[in-house]
């Protein structure tokens, strides 16, 4: 409940652009109910679901015990339709509130939340680009949690290199489309939680040009209207490091009936309505695990007795300086990425209402929120294991699961390198974009100067040097964004303002030297020369 109240307060007083959310009382009620669902329904089944994982039975995926009942409770509670249009049976609530709800649920079990993210993102895609007839069928089912959805991009020979996709789309004489090809790394590609699964598939129609311009987007149901299979089969379910209860599948499409979504040849740009929401979902996953890890570590540190005080009495380890330093670092990371995820979501909401400037700011902040959220989750899980010591390394405590689950956050929906390139090559060059973002977040002026100087320098160098600087620059801008958001919370967060102000002051000690080092890394022009000396052919 503490997290629910904190999230509500941040939406009410700190996050810019969250005006489309309900009134404070309704927001509080929704977040309180999400916290109850997480605590009573998801947290108890998460450890065993992780141990058992998903099974392949007769070519289909079976989820762990308790998951079907949990999904039904989730769907019956209206959570699947939180952001779906009211006309389709949803609640029409904003992404910022959905991000807060997701954090509460994913803190209990991010594996369960994978399907919830996919359904929400598919809803957003269809609401913007779906044919009215198609949307009329699918949106109510998605909002009810009766049907699921996936995003199918990667192929064995083409992961992030989308232009090399080979999956083919063939249109028959009657105008009907069929899809043939193989897709991999499909989250929730098959499961027993919903009656039907809709796969949003990037494919290349016959005669379309090579590269991304030749790709179109199709919705491929896993079953036909009569319940028989629609040429979609599961090649395998992956054995993964983490997220064991979330099935990741390789799928084969054989002459599967499909319906186009969006204009032909504009598949990737159409799909970005879903990709944007998916990346936002990863940012919220990161915030969820980061906050869950520090909560476990703090509770343990307050209870665990180790060492002695000056009067000879036993000390709890929270009194030790190094444990306090670890906990402060964890809390700082957790609150920073929580603020980033909420702020990015609120700007996405504002962009959906037609605010072009908010759309630009969301485009810049989202790669940062996704990357730093992923890294904060893993770093906090690692630090929690350190605080717990040997207890953290075994399955009796959830932090080792958090470490395994969170490692993939920096990989799927665009790796860290892809996020850096997207930020530096696509968003930063937009006229006035960087200045507007920094003006809204108001970091320390010295950090603003450092970021702008690095951006100016990189605008004058070759593409290869900008590529090498992409991730360092993302981290540099992330430092400034973190500083600004913590400072704003320290001014505006009401009863929590003092805590955020203390975190901002703690952060201000390390931010300038880190910024200087990252700025210097951005200017390093001989990366290839150094690499060739270290790794000669």
Residues tagged active-site: 413
Helix axes 2-13, 321-352, angle to 10 degrees: 50
Q: How many other C-beta atoms are found inside a 10 Å radius of the C-beta of residue 61?
A: 19
Question: Which one, of 105, 125, 253, 129, lies nearest residue 189 by Cα?
Answer: 253
Reading the block at residue 195, the tokens are 């009656």
Q: Is 312 helix (H, G, I), strand (E, B) or coil?
A: coil
List, in sequence order, the alpha helices (H) in 353-415. Answer: 356-388, 399-406
DSSP state of 60: E
**Residue 340, CA atoms < 13 Å, CB-side half-sphere:** 37
Element (H, E) at 529: helix 527-534
Instruction: Return the closest-CA partner of residue 279 out of 475, 405, 113, 410.
Output: 410
Sort 308 into a burial class: Cβ within 10 Å, 0-12 / 13-18 / 19+: exposed
Angstrom distances, CA of residue 441 to CA of 73, 312, 484: 39, 48, 5
Distance (Å, rounded) from C-alpha 251 to C-alpha 152?
9
Taken in order 451, 330, 348, 122, the sign of the CA dihedral is positive
| Token pair 């150094």 in the structure block, residue | 530
Check: CB of residue 455 under 8 Å from CB of residue 436: no
Cβ-based neighbours of 331, under 8 Å, separated by 6 or more: 294, 503
Q: Is the dihedral of CA 107, 112, 116, 121 positive or negative?
A: positive
CB contact at 8 A, 133 and 126? no
CA-to-CA dists, residue 86 to 91, 139, 141, 350, 527, angstroms:
5, 10, 13, 18, 53
Could you tell me if 443 and 490 are in contact, meaning their C-beta atoms sit under 8 angstroms apart?
Answer: no
d(CA 462, CA 212): 24
Instruction: Single out the residue of 318, 417, 333 nearest to residue 372, CA to CA.
Output: 333
Containing H/E element for 233? strand 232-237
What kind and span of H or E run contains 521? helix 497-522
Q: How far apart are CA 186 and CA 153, in angstroms?
A: 8
């Amino acid at each position: 409940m503490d997290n629910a109240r904190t999230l509500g307060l941040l939406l009410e007083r700190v996050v810019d652009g969250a005006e489309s959310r309900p009134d404070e009382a309704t927001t509080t009620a929704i977040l309180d109910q999400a916290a109850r669902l997480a605590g009573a329904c998801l947290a108890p089944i998460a450890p065993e679901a992780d141990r058992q994982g998903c099974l392949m039975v007769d070519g289909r995926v079976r989820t762990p015990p308790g998951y079907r009942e949990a999904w039904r409770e989730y769907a019956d509670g209206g959570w699947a339709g939180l952001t779906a249009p009211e006309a389709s049976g949803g609640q029409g609530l904003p992404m910022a509130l959905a991000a807060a709800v997701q954090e509460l649920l994913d803190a209990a079990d991010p594996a369960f939340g994978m399907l919830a993210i996919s359904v929400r993102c598919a809803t957003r895609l269809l609401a913007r680009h779906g044919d009215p007839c198609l949307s009329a069928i699918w949106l109510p089912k998605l909002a009810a949690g009766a049907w699921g959805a996936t995003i199918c991009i990667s192929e064995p020979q083409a992961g992030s290199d989308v232009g090399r996709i080979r999956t083919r789309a063939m249109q028959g004489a009657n105008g009907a489309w069929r899809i043939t090809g193989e897709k991999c790394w499909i989250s929730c590609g098959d499961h027993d939680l919903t009656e039907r699964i809709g796969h949003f598939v990037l494919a290349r129609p016959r005669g379309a040009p090579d590269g991304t311009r030749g790709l179109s987007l199709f919705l491929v149901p896993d079953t036909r209207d009569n319940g028989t299979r629609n040429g979609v089969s599961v090649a395998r379910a992956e054995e993964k490091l983490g997220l064991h209860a979330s099935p990741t599948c390789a799928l084969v499409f054989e002459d599967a009936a499909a319906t186009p979504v969006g204009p032909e040849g504009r598949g990737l740009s159409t799909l970005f309505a879903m990709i944007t929401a998916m990346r936002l979902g990863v940012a919220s996953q990161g915030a969820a695990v980061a906050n869950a890890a520090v909560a476990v570590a703090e509770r343990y540190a307050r209870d665990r007795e180790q060492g002695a005080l000056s009067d000879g009495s036993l000390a709890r380890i929270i009194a030790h300086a190094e444990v306090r330093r670890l906990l402060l670092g964890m809390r700082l990371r957790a609150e920073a990425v929580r603020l980033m995820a909420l702020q990015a979501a609120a700007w996405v909401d504002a962009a959906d209402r037609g605010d072009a400037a908010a759309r630009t700011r969301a485009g810049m902040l989202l790669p940062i929120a996704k990357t730093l959220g992923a890294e904060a989750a893993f770093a906090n899980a690692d630090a929690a294991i350190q605080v717990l010591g040997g207890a953290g390394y075994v399955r009796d405590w959830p932090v080792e699961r958090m470490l395994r689950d969170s490692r993939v956050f920096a990989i799927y929906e665009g790796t860290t390198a892809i996020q850096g390139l997207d930020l530096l090559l696509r968003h930063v060059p937009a006229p006035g974009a960087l200045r507007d973002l920094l003006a809204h977040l108001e970091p320390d002026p010295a950090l603003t100067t450092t970021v702008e100087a690095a951006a100016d320098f990189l605008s004058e160098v070759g593409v290869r040097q900008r590529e090498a600087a992409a991730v360092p620059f993302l981290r540099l801008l992330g430092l400034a964004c973190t500083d600004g958001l913590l400072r704003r919370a320290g001014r505006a967060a009401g009863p929590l303002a003092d805590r955020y102000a203390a975190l901002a002051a703690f952060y201000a000690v390390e931010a300038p030297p880190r910024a200087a080092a990252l700025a210097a890394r951005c200017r390093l022009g001989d990366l290839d020369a150094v690499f060739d000396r270290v790794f000669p052919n």
